[in-house]
Amino acid sequence: MALLALGLNHTTAPVDLREQVAFDAARLPEALRHLRTQFMGVREGAILSTCNRTELFLAVDAGVEPDLIGWLAHFHGVDAAVLSPHIYRFHDLRAAQHMMRVAAGLDSLVLGEPQIMGQFKEAMRQARDAQATGAELEQAFAKVLTVAKRIRTETAIGRNPVSVAYAAVTLAGRIFTDLKTCHAVLVGAGETIQLVAEHLAGQGVRGIDVVNRTLANAETLAAAVDGYAWPLDALGDRIATADIVIASTGSPVPVLGKGMVERAQKIRRQKPMFMVDLAVPRDIEREVGDLDSVYLYSVDDLNAVVEEGLEQRQEAARQAEQLIADALDDWQREIRGYRAVDTIRALREGSQTICEAELTRAMKALEGGRPADEVVAQLSRNLMNKLMHAPTVALRSAAEQGDLSLIEAANRLFDVSETPDDEEPS
């Protein structure tokens, strides 16, 4: 089997081009079937398509180089000349290495992000459903995912925050022993707050209120995390129920003042309140941090956490690369072992044929009345002569031609030593 990986990602192509070659889920089965029928020698295929990458993983006949760029361009109605400079292509173990790095999050926009492993599994499931894959690609994917899981469990690749949204939730977990008992209020409904909401929901936070100037945007986000939407004028009432308050709006002035938080804390009887201001300019007045039982962090505080987390993930990434290198060494040894399979099979089949023929001859001799000891002795001589004939001729010819490599190989293969030159062979 030859393994082939081809695609483009956030490091090789701009977002507008990535959008043009992304595969819609509804057309993916059609694409997988077309990919296999379009090219001779393409036996199996899978497609991974996310917002940051589109990649084709194929099992092909050795030496086959299908025009995948042309196919990809034609399928999506893109000029192949425009697409080509942004495409990368890997073969065999290099393709396997790339797949391992992708599945482990080492090739992601956010180093170590965990979603890609699930997307990788989904790509294989979709290929399986479309009957576009088989034993070869299934085996390759299984090896890739095994390495990715080891990286997840044996390194800290995903354990440290590398985004302010993740850092905010991580810090909340340090303030409260169990986030599942906490109520959160999110102020704003932009991309950053959306990420915060996803992380909080992933941690099982008890309830999430989304407060925003445009209520419709708050409703959309709240629905995605099973929360509740509120208009901005309800902010004072909502934070009175909040253990966690995270704000990121585009307001030119603070939306949360010291007086509003003081009133909320009186209602809460000074229970701890964790607050994060992710906005520039600030959404929460600086003086709020002076209040008792209020833990206020700014985006600058979180950036320090992010830098620390990134350094730790980079160290984990180095460990992950070593795990991948070890896995590829094992895979390469396995591939080399496969190369001997056909030779071993042919050798066994040829020997079996000789043995069966000699055994038949011996049985006839016994039936004819020849003494058993003579028949067994003759069987032994015949087997030795016939099994050793071809190796003996090849070794003698190699010696006459000065090809010592075959003789050395025979010594290793049969664990024998050469007879010294000054001794007569027996």
Q: Which residues are catalytic?
A: 51
Give the bridge partners for 47, in sequence order: 56
Q: How far is CA 176 from the centre of its chain?
A: 33
Phi-psi region of 44 (alpha: psi -120 to 50; beta: other; left: phi over 0): beta
Neighbours of 174 (CB within 10 A): 9
Judge contact between 186 and 217, C-beta under 8 A: no
Order the strands of the 294-298 sheet from edge to edge.
228-231, 207-212, 183-187, 244-247, 273-277, 294-298
299-307 own/partner pairs: CB under 8 Å, 24+ apart: 299/164, 302/164, 302/167, 302/168, 302/171, 302/276, 302/278, 303/164, 305/161, 305/167, 305/170, 305/171, 306/161, 306/162, 306/163, 306/164, 306/167
Give the bridge partners for 38, in sequence order: none
Query: Of the candidates 59, 76, 228, which has an alpha carbon nearest to the alpha carbon of residue 136?
Result: 59
